[in-house]
């Protein structure tokens, strides 16, 4: 499976062209700028705390995922100054190989435009044939937009045993 089959390009209603592709190590500055640009609210909802700068270690982990158990996809727009990252999604497969955990975040001004849906569908497509049975994540109960999105994507939610402020969201994958 080459990288080419997972690049998608589409045009929004306002004519903006977006590209979905695998993240690569050379995206490090782009990823850092993306995290920097998140509103405190979005940053908190994604990292469950305030994070303004990714450490070198995090940046490497985020932009150079281990191909055996992780996939990270980004959506970029082509601007005058090159590509700008506007959304990112990733999953990491648990050691047991049966479940994977996802994370997804879209830049504030790009939310509610179908970017998250594209990212989630692409993650799920990547999991086909991997043997992974379910995809799950933890979402803050206060994150109503994400919870609505997750419901639309067919996830079920249960209370998190570890943290009363978060919900565990899970979707079973079809073989």
Give the count of domains, the chain: 1
* Closest residue by Cα to residue 155 from 138, 172, 139, 175: 172
Give residue-wise pLDDT tens across range 109-133. Answer: 999 899 999 999 999 999 988 999 9
Domain residues for the domain of 16 are 4-172
Q: What is the reported pTM?
A: 0.90
Give residue-wise pLDDT tens across range 148-160. Answer: 999 999 999 999 8
CATH number at residue 127: 3.40.630.30
* Euclidean distance between CA atoms 40 and 49, whole angstroms: 9
Edge-to-edge order in the sheet of strand 17-22: 8-11, 17-22, 70-79, 82-93, 99-106, 134-140, 166-172, 156-159
Give residue-wise pLDDT tens across range 78-98. Answer: 877 789 999 999 999 999 999
Binning pLDDT at 50, 70 and 90, where does residue 174 land? Answer: confident
Give residue-wise pLDDT tens across range 30-45. Answer: 999 999 999 888 888 8
């Amino acid at each position: 499976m080459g990288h080419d089959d997972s690049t998608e390009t589409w045009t929004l209603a306002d004519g903006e062209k977006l590209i979905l592709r695998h993240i690569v190590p050379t995206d490090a500055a782009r990823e850092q700028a993306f995290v920097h640009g998140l509103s405190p609210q979005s940053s908190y909802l994604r990292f469950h705390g305030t994070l303004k700068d990714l450490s070198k270690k995090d940046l490497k982990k985020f932009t150079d995922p281990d191909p055996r158990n992780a996939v990270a996809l980004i959506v970029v727009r082509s601007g005058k100054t090159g590509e700008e990252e506007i959304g990112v999604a990733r999953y990491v497969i648990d050691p047991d190989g049966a479940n994977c955990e996802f994370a997804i975040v879209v830049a504030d001004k790009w939310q509610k435009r179908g970017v998250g849906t594209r990212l989630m569908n692409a993650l799920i497509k990547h999991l086909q044939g991997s043997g992974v049975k379910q995809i799950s994540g933890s979402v803050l109960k206060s994150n109503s937009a994400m919870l609505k999105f997750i419901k639309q994507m067919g996830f079920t939610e249960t209370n998190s045993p570890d943290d009363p402020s978060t919900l565990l969201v899970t979707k079973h994958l079809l073989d």
